[in-house]
């Protein structure tokens, strides 16, 4: 099964990224070494986001994230593991699990 491991961080975590980057690199390398990595990326801070909505057929653009929260999506890892338990095991090893939070969500398979 494929899962997204969503990494949530505070604004300060984004500022301190250079301090935590070695831990994330080690985590990424462990995912690759185990053969479960299938993608992922770090994201820029939420103030760089643009939120799009369609209202009455017209595009509405809002700078920044839609929701103002203390924690924000900082990046994600895509993993391919046998089940949710394995995904949770990998998520618990993510550096963000001890800082803010990590969400594990199964990927939806789209039929062609």
The pTM score is 0.82
Look at residue 65 in the predicted model and tell me its pLDDT. 62
**CATH number, domain 2-106:** 3.30.70.1060
CA–CA dist 69, 21 (Å, integer): 23
26: Cβ contacts below 8 Å, ≥ 6 apart: none
Task: Give pLDDT tens digits along the chain (112 positions).
Answer: 999 999 988 888 888 888 889 999 999 999 999 999 999 998 888 778 887 788 888 888 877 666 666 778 888 999 999 999 999 999 999 988 888 889 999 998 887 6
Tokens 């099964």 belong to residue: 1
**Ranges of each domain in the chain:** 2-106
């Amino acid at each position: 099964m494929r899962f997204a491991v969503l990494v949530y961080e505070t604004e300060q975590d984004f500022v301190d990224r250079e301090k935590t980057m070695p831990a994330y690199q080690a985590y990424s390398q462990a995912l690759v070494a185990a053969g479960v990595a299938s993608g992922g990326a770090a994201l820029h801070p939420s103030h760089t986001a643009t939120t799009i909505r369609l209202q009455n057929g017209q595009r509405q653009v809002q700078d920044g994230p839609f929701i103002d929260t203390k924690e924000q999506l900082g990046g994600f890892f895509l993993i391919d593991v046998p089940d949710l338990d394995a995904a949770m095991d990998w998520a618990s090893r993510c550096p963000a699990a001890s800082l803010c939070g990590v969400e594990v969500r199964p990927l939806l398979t789209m039929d062609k």
